[in-house]
């Protein structure tokens, strides 16, 4: 029998790796049936509170660390950032109107339907700059990757529209984030435009509450600190759609000459959609989140 002191470990960052190894050992004992079902894991938190969990109900333990910071773009906009596992993400939607070298991105307000897949453009939802202050700017895929062919690598190494020292995340980098939040590899690889993958991973990314999201904002906890907002999208037909209902994010990964991979989070689902169809058409305007190099 393992003594209960083994379960009483302080939850401090400097003990993170040591804890992970010990908890892994404990789980091996659980799976082998070597621990008494009446034993508890006692958790002493750094804020002074304590909790205990019966070992008999533990199926798995997911470890993650997060920290926050800030980032400033060429236009002088400052964004919150958050570190989730091994990645540091913007915790707000990008709203720069210039590339990092000062080159201006074309603002298109009335002729969006005439754009080609290779055209760089941005807009504000409803052509209202106040929407940009809250929800960020909507970019075509070519604007997001700054005319490059994109990348499927992890990291993507495509700076695109992102500030210096940051890059547009590839499809694989989004998968890394999703698996960090609990999704398995097989699930992360699924191409599903109309069916969300995973269980609660999208809820962990969405801003909680109904200040910006349509009710019920299913499963939203924002436990990751990502704070996804439902900016909607600009269709290649020139119509702005689904603000407050859905968040759409470009990846740096091209699917074809006309489409790029993207992610979608919805008000009525706690999972994450992955696709290249429809909203993935390159002349659509979607949101951008950058990842630190």
The tens digit of pLDDT for each residue in 227-271 reads 999 999 999 889 999 999 999 999 999 999 999 999 999 999 999
**Does residue 26 carry a pLDDT above 60?**
no
Using alpha carbons, list the distances in angstroms from residue 208 to 50, 160, 273.
25, 29, 18
Average pLDDT, the chain: 85
- The confidence score (pLDDT) of residue 59 equals 64
Give pLDDT, residue 125. 95
> What pLDDT, on the 0 to 100 scale, is given for residue 13?
36
Stretch among 7-11, 22-26, 56-60, 87-91 having the lowest mean pLDDT? 7-11
Mean pLDDT on 205-216: 97
User: Cis peptide leading into 293, omega within 30 of 0?
Assistant: no
- What's the pLDDT at 50? 62
**Average pLDDT for residues 55-83, to the nearest whole number?**
79
For tokens 């570190």, the residue is 83
Separation of alpha carbons 34 and 275, rounded Å: 44
Q: pTM (2 decimals)?
A: 0.79
For residues 9 and 248, the model is more confident at: 248
% of the chain at pLDDT higher than 70: 78
What 154-160 contacts at long range (C-beta under 8 Å, 24+ apart), as own/partner pairs, is: 155/291, 155/293, 156/251, 156/252, 156/253, 158/252, 159/100, 160/252, 160/288
Q: Can you give the three-state secondary structure of the chain, one letter per residue?
A: CCCHHHHCEECCHHHHHHHHHHHHHHHHHHHCCCCCCCCEEEEECCCCCEEEEEHHHCCCCCCCCEEEEEEECCCCCEEEEEEECCEEEECCCCCCCECCCCCECCECCCCHHHCCCCCCCEECHHHCHHHHHHHCCEECHHHHCCCCCCCCCCCCCCCCCCCCCEECCCHHHHHHHHHHCCCCHHHHCCCEEEEEECCCHHHHHECCCCCCCCCCCCCCCCCCCCCECCCCEECCCCCEECCCCEEEEEEEEECCCCEEEEEEEECCCCCEEEECCHHHECCCEEECCCEEC
Ramachandran angles phi, psi of 48, nearest 5°: 95, -5
CA of 89: how far to CAs of 27, 31, 60, 85, 236, in Å?
31, 35, 26, 10, 28
Tell me: pLDDT of 52 over 80: no
Query: Which of 32-41, 88-97, 125-134, 137-146 is predicted with the least confidence, judged by mean pLDDT?
Result: 32-41
Residue 82 main-chain phi, psi, to 5 deg? -145, 135
The Cα 31–Cα 35 span in angstroms is 9
Question: At a CB cut-off of 8 Å and minimum separation 6, what does 51 contact?
Answer: 42, 43, 45
Q: Output the pLDDT for position 41.
A: 66
The pLDDT-based confidence of 278 (bands split at 50, 70, 90) is confident
Tens-place pLDDT, residues 71-120: 999 999 999 999 999 999 999 999 999 999 999 999 999 889 899 999 99
Average pLDDT of the residues in 38-54: 59
How much is the pLDDT for 7?
A: 35
| Interval 117-128 mean pLDDT | 95
User: Is the pLDDT higher at 24 or at 224?
Assistant: 224
Residue 213 has a pLDDT of 98
């Amino acid at each position: 029998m393992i003594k209960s002191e083994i379960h009483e470990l302080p939850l401090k960052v400097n003990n993170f790796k040591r804890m992970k190894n010990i908890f892994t050992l404990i789980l091996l004992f659980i799976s082998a049936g070597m621990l008494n079902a009446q034993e508890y894991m006692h958790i002493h938190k750094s804020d002074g509170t304590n909790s205990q969990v019966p070992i008999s109900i533990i199926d798995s333990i997911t470890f993650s660390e997060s920290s926050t910071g800030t980032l400033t773009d060429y236009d002088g906009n400052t964004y919150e950032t958050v570190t989730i596992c091994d990645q540091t993400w913007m915790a707000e939607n990008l709203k720069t109107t210039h590339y990092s070298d000062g080159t201006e991105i074309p603002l298109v307000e009335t002729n969006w339907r005439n754009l080609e897949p290779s055209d760089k453009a941005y807009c504000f939802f409803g052509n209202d700059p106040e929407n940009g202050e809250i929800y960020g700017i909507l970019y075509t895929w070519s604007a997001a990757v700054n005319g490059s062919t994109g990348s499927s690598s992890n990291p993507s190494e495509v700076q695109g529209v992102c500030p210096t020292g940051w890059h547009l995340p590839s499809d694989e980098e989004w998968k890394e984030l999703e698996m960090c939040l609990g999704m398995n590899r097989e699930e992360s690889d699924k191409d599903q435009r109309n069916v969300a993958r995973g269980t609660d991973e999208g809820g962990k990314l969405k801003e909680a509450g109904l200040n910006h999201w349509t009710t019920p904002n299913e499963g939203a906890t924002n436990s990751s600190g990502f704070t996804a907002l439902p900016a909607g999208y600009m269709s290649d037909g020139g119509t702005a759609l689904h603000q407050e209902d859905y968040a759409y994010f470009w990846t740096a990964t091209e699917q074809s000459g006309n489409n790029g991979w993207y992610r979608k989070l919805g008000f009525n689902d706690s999972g994450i959609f992955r696709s290249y169809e429809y909203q993935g058409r390159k002349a659509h305007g979607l949101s951008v989140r950058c990842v630190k190099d």
